[in-house]
Chain A
Amino acid sequence: MSKYLYLFRGGDARMAELSPEEMQEHMQKWGAWMQGLTEKGILVDGLPLTKEGKRLTGQDKMLIDGPYTEGAEVVGGYLLINANSLVEAVEIAKDCPIFENNGEVEVRETMNM
């Protein structure tokens, strides 16, 4: 059993086009998916992210403003889950509602101590 990180990206453009009714449906799908993860004891942690941010870069720690060039590259949230393998973590991610809005999930294995 290892911990796996999901990084959620994109989908913002489509979400902005949704009607209130469709937004609620989408929100409820997320709620149901997350609840499923909780009930199975898979979910460890996770939060959505705002669009505000800064980047420190280089030896002189240059401060760069705000997120990141393309909308599709901006991480909109993360989850930490328990799974037996990368393959299983990927299978679990396939049920994520983000794909309805053309978003993507990056699945990463954490290093074990």
Chain B
Amino acid sequence: MAPNNQIHNKIDHLFRREYGKICASLTGRFGIKNLQLVEDAVQDALIKAMQVWGFTSIPANPSAWLYKVAANRVIDNLKRVQKSSALCAETEIFIGFSDNVDDEWINDSLLKMIFATCHPCLSSTEQITLSLKLLCGFNVPEISRALIKKTEAVKKSLLRAKNKIREDVCEEAVRLAYILQSHPNFDTPEVNALLALMCFNLSRFATRQGSEMQLITLEFQDRELWDKNYINMAIRFLSKSAREENLSKYHLEAAIASLYVMPQKFEDTDWPEILRLYNMLTISDFSLSAKLNRIVVLAKVNGAVTALKELDQLYHDYPKIESHTFFAIKANLELEVGEVNKAIKSLDESILRANNAIEIKFLRNKRDLY
């Protein structure tokens, strides 16, 4: 209960500086795919600091305090999101070293973040906007004042830039797998199947979001814009992967991806064949996402009523399901059978659990139709 002005005076711009440092270190630790989760966690940690420090006193090591609170927040949120997916092991590793952080690590992370925010795939405006946000700890209104832009424009620019660097991470993964495959020891069917899967997914990357950053599902993606180079590479890797009897998880997933990509029109999709592959996949892949994807395909083949029954069974097996995808699929199937009220409830459940701004927007728009 002893606020100390001397300390208060020593912490000029501490919050803003720490925002960049902690965002960079936690993104280094949890991966750029969790960037949004990290940013939210750092913001929450600063709010907590504002409330607690103002009331009591500033801790001896404010940076360590903020880092710890933010890291715990990310881990809690990851656990919540991943409870239903197969990635729990990842979180355990993070918990292991969430406490030891040194200056060298922070500087390395900051340097990586500078490379990310100034990536050549970004326009100069996007580079500046993203750097101000992630490295300098400015918020959207501050950036829009500094650059004399509308806040909406800044928000869009940030979202676009973040998506671009995430896409770049996918391309980087392909490049690494390609290096692996180029080595004679690793030119295995499994690595080729993985490469095929990644290339099929990348070929559709640019069409999954519209100009308003809205999510576009397979049915409404512009097939003309799919990247033919990636598709051709994928086909080549897929045929190379078929050298032995061995059928890995990646073989099945790549085969499924090919059946989504190869038809000229969405209506020509071979759902029964995709279902057959998912049936095989879910024998060895116990992840919830594989089970959920299979149910979506099941609905196409055997109808929404059958699919809903399996979904209920899944809920029975996993009563604590926290996947927003589960509830989004449920809503779709309920709409198909005309249960509008139930569907609205499911959409609400899904919105509650979604953690990505684009997905939340997609779900809200859908919710607003009813």
Q: Is the CB of A27 within 8 A of B53?
A: yes
Q: Is the CB of A19 within 8 A of B8?
A: no
Q: Is the CB of A93 closer than 8 A to any CB of chain B?
A: no
Give the contacts of A15-69 with B (CB-CB under 8 A): 15-24, 26-32, 34-35, 38, 43, 45-48
Q: Is the CB of B19 closer than 8 A to any CB of chain A?
A: yes
Looking at B42-50, B164-172, B213-221, B306-314, the stretch in contact with chain A turns out to be B42-50
Chain B interface residue bracket vs A: 20 to 34
Looking at B116-124, B136-144, B244-252, the stretch in contact with chain A turns out to be B136-144
Q: Is the CB of B55 within 8 A of A38?
A: no
Q: Is the CB of A21 within 8 A of B16?
A: yes
Chain B, residues 319-342, CB within 8 Å of chain A (1/0): the string is 000000000000000000000000
In the complex, number of A-B residue pairs with CB atoms less than 8 Å apart: 88
Complex Cα–Cα for A23 and B2 (A): 20
B contact residues around A27 at 8 Å (CB):
15, 49-51, 53-54
B152 to A: closest C-beta gap in Å: 15
B18 to A: closest C-beta gap in Å: 8
B178 to A: closest C-beta gap in Å: 40
Q: Is the CB of B5 closer than 8 A to any CB of chain A?
A: yes
Q: Is the CB of B5 within 8 A of A26?
A: no
Contact (A77, B55) CB under 8 Å given A18-B139, A21-B16, A23-B47: yes
Q: Is the CB of A35 within 8 A of B137?
A: no
B contact residues around A28 at 8 Å (CB):
8, 54
With CB as the reference atom, state the residue of chain B lying closest to A43: B1
With CB as the reference atom, state the residue of chain B lying closest to A16: B47
Q: Is the CB of A24 within 8 A of B16?
A: yes
B314 to A: closest C-beta gap in Å: 27
Contact check: which of A23, A31, A45, A76 meets B46 at CB < 8 Å?
Answer: A23
A contact residues around B31 at 8 Å (CB):
none
Chain B, residues 1-18, CB within 8 Å of chain A (1/0): the string is 111110010010111101
Complex Cα–Cα for A32 and B50 (A): 13
Contact (A34, B15) CB under 8 Å given A19-B142, A27-B50: no
Contact (A19, B137) CB under 8 Å given A34-B55, A46-B55: yes
Chain B, residues 101-144, CB within 8 Å of chain A (1/0): the string is 00000000000000000000000000000000000011101100
Q: Is the CB of B2 within 8 A of A38?
A: yes
Q: Is the CB of A31 within 8 A of B3?
A: yes
Contact (A21, B15) CB under 8 Å given A32-B3, A32-B5, A46-B1: yes
Complex Cα–Cα for A17 and B46 (A): 12
Binding site for A on B (CB under 8 A): 1-5, 8, 11, 13-16, 18-19, 43, 46-47, 49-58, 137-139, 141-142
Given contacts A23-B46, A24-B14, 18 further A-B contacts (CB under 8 A): A16-B43, A16-B47, A19-B138, A19-B139, A20-B18, A20-B19, A21-B137, A23-B15, A24-B13, A27-B49, A27-B51, A29-B54, A31-B54, A31-B58, A32-B3, A32-B5, A47-B55, A48-B52
For the complex of A and B, list the 4 residue pairs with the smallest distance between their C-beta atoms, beginning with the closest. Answer: A30-B54, A19-B139, A24-B15, A20-B15
**Interchain residue pairs with CB less than 8 A apart (19):** A18-B139, A19-B137, A19-B141, A20-B46, A21-B137, A21-B138, A23-B50, A27-B49, A27-B51, A30-B3, A31-B57, A32-B3, A32-B5, A34-B54, A34-B55, A35-B3, A48-B56, A76-B51, A77-B51
